[in-house]
Amino acid sequence: MFEAEAFSPHETLAAALIAHAAGGDDGSHDLAHILRVFRNAMRIHAGEDGDGRILAAAVLLHDCVAVEKNSPLRAQASALAAEKASVILSELGWSEADIESAAHAITAHSFSAGVAPQTLEAKILQDADRLDAIGMVGVARCFYIGGRMGSGLYDPFDPAGANRALDDKRYAIDHFQTKLFKLAEGFQTETGRRIAAARDKGLRDFLAAFMDEI
């Protein structure tokens, strides 16, 4: 119950869902990630409104199916998670409408899926999840995933990719330009955009310092 209490005021729901929250052994999509996304979501929810119960369930189950970043199924990961979440919430007695709302939020949260969020809860979850990909946590996750995928840190002869094609599967630092710097432009809520702007600056400051050191 101690873990569930961290998800206050939805600790009762969390107690029922934590066991399903994070599949696999990916430390960038573990329970710590779920909790950070929950806190981001609750912060945005406080400024934007929406249904907190549906949002909390969507956060807790948005990564309930584990798919590696380099898997050919990556673009389907959020849809697979939504399918599994629908079964879980149905077993808890949720209404069909609420299940559909949570499932849509889960499906639409993923950058890879390319699904536009249609509800406020979906917009908040997408923003909350993307906030965890930028800022200093985003830096840590970028290099963690790069190591997990067997990537190098950077091209020693052209680290900024001035005269080569960027390849974030080969060099972790390339991920800043291929994806991370693009995220702040796509936030769905005003509260999310405000938080993202500060984290995006931290991300850019980090890259500048990194390039200076190497």
Say which amino acid occupies 131: L
pLDDT at site 28: 80
> Residue 105's pLDDT is what?
97
Q: 103: Cβ–Cβ under 8 A, 6 or more apart, which residues?
A: 82, 83, 85, 86
- Whole-prediction pTM value? 0.91
- pLDDT of res. 69: 66
Q: What is the pLDDT of residue 64?
A: 86
> From residue 209, how far is each of 136, 180, 191, 203 by CA, in Å?
13, 16, 28, 10
HEC secondary structure over the chain: CHHHHCCCCCHHHHHHHHHHHCCCCCCCCCHHHHHHHHHHHHHHHHHHCCCHHHHHHHHHHCCCCCCCCCCCCHHHHHHHHHHHHHHHHHHCCCCHHHHHHHHHHHHHCCCCCCCCCCCHHHHHHHHHHHHCCCHHHHHHHHHHHHHHCCCECCCCCCCCCCCCCCCCCCECCHHHHHHHHHHHHHCCCHHHHHHHHHHHHHHHHHHHHHHHHC
Given a contact cutoff of 8 angstroms between Cβ atoms, the answer to whether 135 and 199 are in contact is: yes
What are the backbone dihedrals phi and psi of residue 4, each rounded to the nearest 5 degrees, phi first?
-65, -35
Out of 3.90.550.10, 1.10.730.10, 1.10.3210.50, 2.40.50.140, which CATH number does the structure's domain 133-214 have? Answer: 1.10.3210.50
Q: What pLDDT, on a 0 to 100 scale, did the predictor assign at position 147?
A: 94
pLDDT mean by block of 10 residues, the chain; 214 residues: 85 94 79 95 96 97 80 75 95 97 94 86 96 95 94 97 96 96 94 97 97 97
